[in-house]
Amino acid sequence: MKSTQYSEKVLDHFRNPRNVGTLEGDDVAWGEVGNPVCGDLMKMYIQVEDDTIADIKFQTFGCGSAIATSSMITEMAKGKTLDEALKITRQDVADELEGLPPIKMHCSNLAADALQEAIKNYRDQKKGKVPLPVIQKATGPVKELVGEKEFLGKGVYHSVDDFSPFQDKRVMVVDRGPKSLEIALELTKHTGRVIVVTPGKAFSSVDSDLAKGIKQSDIKIIYESEPLEVRGSDEVEKVLVHDLDEDEEYELFVDAIIILK
Amino acid sequence: MGIAMSSYIDYQSAKPVDPRVIEAMLPYFHERFGNPSSLHGEGDEATKVLEGCRRTISGFINAEPDEIIFTSGATESNNLALIGYASRNKAKGNHLIISEVEHISIHNIAKYLEKNGFVVSRLPVDQYGKVSLQKLASRITPETILISIGYASNEIGTIQPIAEIGRLARERGIAFHSDAVAAEGLIPLDVTRDTIDLLTFSSNDIYGPQGVGVLYVRKGMRLNPLIIGGGQERGVRSGTENIAGIVGMSTAVEIMGREMEGEVKRLAQYRDKLIKAILERIPKSHLNGHPIDRLANNAHFRFEAIEGESLLLSLKDAGVSAATGSACSSKTLEPSHTLISTGLLHEEAHGSLEFTFGRFNQEADVDKVIEVLPPIVERLRKLSPLYKEEVPA
Find out whether A5 and A101 touch, Cβ atoms under 8 Å: yes
* Domains assigned to chain A: 8-126 (3.90.1010.10), 156-258 (3.50.50.60)
Specify whether B250 is located in the same domain as B126: yes
Specify whether B316 is located in the same domain as B213: no
The single-letter code of the amino acid at A67 is: I
Specify whether B223 is located in the same domain as B116: yes
Give the global pTM: 0.92
pLDDT computed for residue A139 by the predictor: 44
Classify burial at A132, counting beta carbons within 10 Å of its beta carbon; exposed 0-12, middle 13-18, buried 19 or more: exposed
Does B389 map to a domain? no
Classify burial at B262, counting beta carbons within 10 Å of its beta carbon; exposed 0-12, middle 13-18, buried 19 or more: exposed
- Assess whether pLDDT exceeds 60 at residue B4: no
Specify whether B347 is located in the same domain as B207: no
Interchain CB contact of A79 with B (< 8 Å): no
Mean pLDDT, to the nearest integer, of B100-110? 96
- Assess whether pLDDT exceeds 70 at residue B41: yes
pLDDT computed for residue B391 by the predictor: 45
pLDDT computed for residue B39 by the predictor: 87
pLDDT computed for residue A17 by the predictor: 97
Give the integer Cα–Cα distance in Å for B76 and B85: 13
pLDDT computed for residue B189 by the predictor: 97
CATH number for B208? 3.40.640.10
CATH number for B340? 3.90.1150.10
Does B1 map to a domain? no
Interchain CB contact of B384 with A (< 8 Å): yes
| Partners of A170 in beta bridges | A193
Sheet holding A40-49, edge to edge: A28-35, A40-49, A52-61
Does B249 map to a domain? yes
Find out whether A27 and B350 touch, Cβ atoms under 8 Å: no
CB under 8 Å to B22, separation ≥6 — which residues?
B248
Instruction: With H, G, I as helix, E, B as strand and everything else as coil, classify residue A126.
Output: helix
Residues of B in contact with A59 (CB under 8 A): 383-385, 388
Please answer yes or no on whether A62 and B328 come within 8 Å at the CB atom: yes
**Number of structural domains in chain B:** 2
Please answer yes or no on whether B390 and A40 come within 8 Å at the CB atom: no
How many Å separate Cα B307 from the centre of its chain?
Answer: 25
pLDDT computed for residue A95 by the predictor: 94
Q: How far are the Cα atoms of A115, A117, A199, B216, B256 from residue A32, in angstroms, in the given order?
A: 8, 7, 20, 55, 53
Closest residue in chain B to residue A212, using alpha carbons only:
B392
Angle between helix axes B363-383 and B308-317 (nearest 10 degrees) is: 130
Give the integer Cα–Cα distance in Å for B191 and B178: 10
Among residues B223, B255, B287, the one where a domain terminates is B255
Find out whether B237 and B213 touch, Cβ atoms under 8 Å: no
* Spans in chain A with pLDDT lower than 50: 1, 133-140
Mean pLDDT, to the nearest integer, of B288-317? 96
Does B179 map to a domain? yes
Find out whether B37 and B230 touch, Cβ atoms under 8 Å: yes
Specify whether B207 is located in the same domain as B250: yes
Catalytic residue set of A: 38, 107
On average, the pLDDT of chain B sits at 94
pLDDT computed for residue B2 by the predictor: 43
Specify whether B244 is located in the same domain as B280: no
Residues of B in contact with A102 (CB under 8 A): none
Specify whether B117 is located in the same domain as B224: yes
Report the alpha-carbon angle B229-B234-B236, nearest 5.
60
Structure confidence at residue B392 as a pLDDT band (50, 70, 90): very low
Please answer yes or no on whether B309 and A3 come within 8 Å at the CB atom: yes
pLDDT tens, residue by residue, B216-256: 999 999 999 999 999 999 999 999 999 999 999 999 999 99
Give the integer Cα–Cα distance in Å for B391 and B393: 6
Mean pLDDT, to the nearest integer, of B201-217? 98
The single-letter code of the amino acid at B266 is: R
Does B316 map to a domain? yes
pLDDT tens, residue by residue, B314-370: 999 999 999 998 766 666 667 899 999 999 999 899 999 999 999 999 999 999 999
Closest residue in chain A to residue B350, using alpha carbons only:
A39
Closest CA to A90 of A49, A34, A22: A34
ipTM above 0.85, yes or no: yes
**Which helix (DSSP H) or strand (DSSP E) does residue A43 occupy?**
strand A40-49
Residues of B in contact with A256 (CB under 8 A): none
Closest CA to A38 of B17, B346, B232: B346
Among residues B234, B255, B276, the one where a domain terminates is B255
Does B303 map to a domain? yes
Give the integer Cα–Cα distance in Å for B155 and B339: 8
Specify whether B82 is located in the same domain as B220: yes
Instruction: With H, G, I as helix, E, B as strand and everything else as coil, classify residue B173.
Output: coil
Interchain CB contact of B382 with A (< 8 Å): yes
123-162 in chain A: CB under 8 A from chain B: none
Specify whether B127 is located in the same domain as B204: yes
Give the integer Cα–Cα distance in Å for B176 and B166: 6
Does B390 map to a domain? no
Interchain CB contact of A24 with B (< 8 Å): no
Find out whether B325 and B155 touch, Cβ atoms under 8 Å: yes
* Sign (positive or negative) of CA dihedral A34, B351, A58, A68: negative
CB under 8 Å to B88, separation ≥6 — which residues?
B222, B223, B224
Among residues B203, B238, B255, the one where a domain terminates is B255
| Domain enclosing residue B57, as ranges | 19-255
Among A3, A59, A255, whose Cβ lies nearest the Cβ of B384? A59
Specify whether B198 is located in the same domain as B305: no
Does B158 map to a domain? yes
| Partners of A249 in beta bridges | A242
Angular region, B188: left φ>0, alpha ψ -120 to 50, beta rest: beta
Find out whether B253 and B60 touch, Cβ atoms under 8 Å: yes
Closest CA to A194 of A167, A212, A227: A167
**A246 vs B313, higher pLDDT:** B313
pLDDT computed for residue A5 by the predictor: 83
Classify burial at A120, counting beta carbons within 10 Å of its beta carbon; exposed 0-12, middle 13-18, buried 19 or more: middle
Please answer yes or no on whether A63 and B309 come within 8 Å at the CB atom: yes
Question: How close A37 gets to chain B, by Cα (Å)?
Answer: 5
Find out whether B192 and B62 touch, Cβ atoms under 8 Å: yes
Specify whether B321 is located in the same domain as B221: no
**Dihedral of the alpha carbons of B6, B10, B16, B21, in degrees to the nearest 10:** 130
* Sign (positive or negative) of CA dihedral B270, B280, A217, B309: negative
Interchain CB contact of A201 with B (< 8 Å): no
Interchain CB contact of A227 with B (< 8 Å): no
Specify whether B264 is located in the same domain as B250: no
Closest CA to B321 of B358, B280, B375, B282: B358
Please answer yes or no on whether B347 and A59 come within 8 Å at the CB atom: no
